[in-house]
Chain A
Amino acid sequence: MPRNVLLQSSAKSNFFIVWSEVVKNLKFLLAYPIVFVFWAIFPIFWFIPFVLQGQAFVGGLQSPSFGEVAGTEEFIPFIILGAILNSYVLTSLYGMGESIRREAYRGTLDYILSSPCNKAFILIGKALSESFSSTLYAISQLAISILFFGMELTLGIIMPVIFIIILLILGLYGLALILAAASLRYKQAHDMAHALEYVFYVFSPVRYPVASLPLWGQIIGRLLPLTYALIAVRSLILLKQNLPAIYLEILALLIIDGIMILTGFYLFNWMEEKTKTSGTISHY
Chain B
Amino acid sequence: MNKNRVKGHELGEVTCPTGFNWTNLKAELRAIWESSIKAWKIELAYPVSFLRQSVSPLIILLPFLIYGMVLVGGRYSENLERMVGTGDVVTFIFTGYVIMGFIGTAVWAMGFSIRGEQWFGTLESIFVTPTSRLSLVLGMALHSTVHQSIGTAVEFAIIYAVFGLGLKIGGILPALGIFVLMMLALYGFGILVSALSLVLKEGWIVAEGLHSIMMILSPVVYPLVVLPTVAQQASAIFPTAPALVGMRVFLIENYQPEVIGNIFLHLLALDAAWILFGILVFHLTDIYVRKKGSLEKY
Question: Footprint of B on A, CB under 8 Å?
Answer: 32, 34-35, 38, 42, 45-46, 48-50, 52-59, 63-66, 68-70, 75, 188, 191, 194-195, 198, 201-202, 206-209, 212-213
- Find chain A residues with CB under 8 A from B49 CB: 188, 191
Q: Which residues 20-50 in B have Cβ within 8 Å of A in the complex?
A: 46, 48-49
Mark each residue of chain B from 185 to 227: 1 if its CB lies under 8 Å from any CB of chain A, else 0: 0000000000000000010010011001101100011110011
A46 to B212 alpha-carbon distance, docked (Å): 7
> Would you mind naming 18 contact pairs between A and B with Cβ atoms under 8 Å apart?
A35-B202, A38-B208, A49-B64, A52-B221, A52-B226, A53-B221, A56-B80, A57-B68, A57-B71, A58-B71, A59-B79, A63-B71, A65-B72, A188-B48, A198-B56, A201-B63, A208-B63, A212-B69
Known pairs A34-B205, A49-B216, A52-B226; A209 contacts B79 (CB<8 A)? no
A138 CB → nearest B CB, Å: 18
A134 to B46 alpha-carbon distance, docked (Å): 31
Known pairs A45-B216, A66-B71; A195 contacts B222 (CB<8 A)? no
Candidate in B67, B80, B89, B215 with the most chain A CB atoms within 10 angstroms: B67
A202 to B215 alpha-carbon distance, docked (Å): 20
**Does B149 sit at the interface, judged by CB under 8 A?**
no
User: Which chain B residue lies CB-closest to A54?
Assistant: B71
Question: Footprint of A on B, CB under 8 Å?
Answer: 46, 48-49, 52, 56, 59-60, 62-64, 66-74, 77-80, 82-83, 89, 202, 205, 208-209, 212-213, 215-216, 220-223, 226-227
Inter-chain contact B72/A56, CB cutoff 8 Å: no
- Find chain A residues with CB under 8 A from B46 CB: 188, 191
Known pairs A35-B202, A42-B209, A56-B83; A208 contacts B216 (CB<8 A)? no
A265 to B59 alpha-carbon distance, docked (Å): 30
Inter-chain contact B59/A198, CB cutoff 8 Å: yes
A262 CB → nearest B CB, Å: 27
Inter-chain contact B222/A49, CB cutoff 8 Å: yes
A191-B52, A212-B69 given; 16 more Cβ-contact pairs under 8 Å: A34-B205, A42-B209, A48-B216, A49-B216, A57-B79, A63-B72, A64-B73, A70-B70, A191-B46, A191-B48, A194-B52, A198-B59, A201-B63, A202-B63, A207-B63, A212-B66
A208 to B67 alpha-carbon distance, docked (Å): 6
Inter-chain contact A65/B73, CB cutoff 8 Å: yes
A269 to B83 alpha-carbon distance, docked (Å): 58
Partner of B66, one of A42, A54, A213: A213
A219 to B208 alpha-carbon distance, docked (Å): 33
Known pairs A42-B209, A46-B212, A188-B49; A53 contacts B62 (CB<8 A)? no
User: Which chain A residue lies CB-closest to B222?
Assistant: A56
Inter-chain contact B72/A212, CB cutoff 8 Å: no
- Find chain A residues with CB under 8 A from B79 CB: 56-59
- Find chain B residues with CB under 8 A from A194 CB: 52, 56
User: Which chain A residue lies CB-closest to B82?
Assistant: A59
A49 to B64 alpha-carbon distance, docked (Å): 9
Inter-chain contact A49/B71, CB cutoff 8 Å: no
Candidate in A68, A75, A195 with the most chain B CB atoms within 10 angstroms: A195
Inter-chain contact B216/A212, CB cutoff 8 Å: no
A13 CB → nearest B CB, Å: 35
B287 CB → nearest A CB, Å: 25
User: Which chain A residue lies CB-closest to B72?
Assistant: A57
Partner of A66, one of B70, B89, B205, B222: B70
- Find chain B residues with CB under 8 A from A42 CB: 208-209, 212
A120 to B205 alpha-carbon distance, docked (Å): 32
Inter-chain contact B226/A55, CB cutoff 8 Å: yes
- Find chain B residues with CB under 8 A from A70 CB: 70
User: Which chain B residue lies CB-closest to A58?
Assistant: B71
User: Which chain B residue lies CB-closest to A52?
Assistant: B222
Inter-chain contact A56/B59, CB cutoff 8 Å: no
- Find chain B residues with CB under 8 A from A65 CB: 70-74
Inter-chain contact A55/B222, CB cutoff 8 Å: yes
Inter-chain contact B63/A49, CB cutoff 8 Å: no
A45 to B216 alpha-carbon distance, docked (Å): 8
User: Which chain B residue lies CB-closest to A43?
Assistant: B212
A179 to B155 alpha-carbon distance, docked (Å): 28
A125 to B62 alpha-carbon distance, docked (Å): 36
- Find chain A residues with CB under 8 A from B59 CB: 198, 201-202
User: Which chain A residue lies CB-closest to B208?
Assistant: A42
- Find chain A residues with CB under 8 A from B208 CB: 38, 42
A67 CB → nearest B CB, Å: 10
Inter-chain contact A38/B205, CB cutoff 8 Å: yes
- Find chain A residues with CB under 8 A from B215 CB: 45, 49
Top 7 closest pairs, chain A to chain B, by CB: A65-B73, A59-B79, A56-B222, A45-B212, A53-B221, A57-B77, A207-B67
Inter-chain contact A56/B66, CB cutoff 8 Å: no
A58 to B70 alpha-carbon distance, docked (Å): 11
A81 to B192 alpha-carbon distance, docked (Å): 35
- Find chain A residues with CB under 8 A from B68 CB: 53, 57
Inter-chain contact B52/A195, CB cutoff 8 Å: yes
A42 to B209 alpha-carbon distance, docked (Å): 7
Inter-chain contact B67/A69, CB cutoff 8 Å: no
- Find chain A residues with CB under 8 A from B64 CB: 49-50, 53
A198 to B215 alpha-carbon distance, docked (Å): 19
Inter-chain contact B77/A52, CB cutoff 8 Å: no
- Find chain A residues with CB under 8 A from B223 CB: 56
